[in-house]
């Protein structure tokens, strides 16, 4: 099993929201189609469990950004079924973004938590979504930037950069997880990275902020998870599990 993991390609990886952590308190509405997809997700092997606190090792300083932890409500943690997570606000010269990384042993629990579903269910209107690439120190990772608005033209606006990390491969949506479901393939791990900002700057500048933090955090997040999973697999192999 460890040999299979060693062959995986590494890319990189990020959050939620600092204005009251709106998305962090959102519970999804589940339809018939989702329930069927979730049932099929149970055919995928569960992620390798991470040692507790693995994601806490993410540095408090990322480039020019300084972070501090923002604890999530226990109800939110239970609702998202994460086994390890980090939720922080990073600030720089009056600018701020929120970074959220979620790791679930049961990969199917990451499947429904998509920004294009979560935020509208909390009252936000999706105005735009597009896929982007972000340098991660080695190559580039694929992510999706979404823009939301609440309360009309004079209301609040929000930008979110989101991607999933599946066995070291970054994907802007859940398509990679879906493909593994329908092919009944197995994976060693999956994580979700989300970065968000709602501060009053131009839309383009806000997106630049998200991409800047993503570029700084992606290789660190990928390395943290890679080493933890590789160590867990090595330990399991030595025990003959």
Helix, strand and coil content of the chain, in percent to the nearest 5, comes to: 35, 30, 35
pLDDT at 110: 60
Q: Domain range spanning residue 161?
A: 10-236
Residue 122 has a pLDDT of 87
What is the pLDDT at residue 166?
Answer: 84
The pLDDT, as a whole number, for residue 29 is 33
125: phi then psi, degrees, rounded to nearest 5: -105, 125
User: How many structural domains compose the chain?
Assistant: 1
- This prediction has a pTM of 0.76
- Asked if residue 2 is part of any domain, the answer here is no
Cα–Cα dist 86/193, whole Å: 10
pLDDT digits (tens, 9 = 90+) for 77-110: 676 667 788 999 999 998 999 999 988 756 665 6
Give residue-wise pLDDT tens across range 202-223: 888 999 999 999 999 999 999 9
In a domain, 1, yes or no: no
Residue of higher predicted confidence among 20 and 157: 157
Lowest mean pLDDT among 24-33, 104-113, 127-136: 24-33
User: Which residues on neighbouring strands pair with residue 67, listed in sequence order?
Assistant: 90
Residue 68 covered by a domain: yes
- φ/ψ of 195, rounded to 5, equals -125, 135
Judge whether 43 lies within some domain: yes
Q: Does 63 map to a domain?
A: yes
- Residue 217 included in any domain: yes
CA atoms within 13 A on the CB side of 145: 19
pLDDT at 239: 63
Give yes or no for a contact between 159 and 146, defined as CB atoms under 8 angstroms apart.
yes
Q: Give domain status of residue 62, yes or no.
A: yes
Cβ neighbour number for residue 15 with a 10 Å cutoff: 31
Token output for 108: 């199917």
Position 4 in a domain: no
DSSP string, 104-144: -SSGGGTTT--HHHHHHHTTPEEEEEEEEEEE-SSSEEEEE
């Amino acid at each position: 099993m460890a040999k299979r993991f060693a062959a995986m390609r590494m890319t990189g990886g990020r959050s939620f929201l600092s204005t009251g952590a709106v998305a962090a308190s959102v519970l999804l509405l589940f339809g018939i189609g989702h329930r069927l997809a979730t049932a099929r997700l149970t055919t995928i092997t569960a992620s390798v469990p991470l040692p507790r606190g693995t994601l806490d090792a993410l540095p408090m300083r990322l480039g020019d950004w300084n972070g501090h932890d923002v604890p999530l409500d226990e109800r939110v943690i239970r609702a998202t079924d994460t086994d390890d997570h980090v939720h922080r606000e990073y600030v720089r010269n009056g600018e701020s973004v929120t970074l959220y990384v979620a790791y679930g042993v049961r990969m199917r629990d990451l499947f429904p938590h998509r920004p294009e579903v979560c935020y509208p269910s909390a009252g936000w209107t999706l105005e735009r979504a597009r896929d982007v690439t972000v340098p991660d120190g080695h190559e580039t990772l694929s992510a999706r930037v979404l823009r939301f608005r609440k309360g009309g033209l004079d209301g609040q606006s929000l930008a979110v950069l989101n991607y999933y990390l599946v066995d070291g491969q970054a994907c802007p949506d859940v398509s990679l997880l879906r493909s593994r479901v329908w092919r009944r393939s197995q994976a060693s791990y999956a994580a979700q990275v989300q970065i968000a900002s709602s501060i009053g700057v131009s839309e383009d500048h806000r997106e630049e902020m998200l991409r800047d933090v993503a570029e700084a955090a992606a290789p660190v997040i990928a390395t943290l998870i890679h080493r933890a999973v590789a160590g867990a697999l090595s330990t399991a192999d030595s025990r003959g599990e």
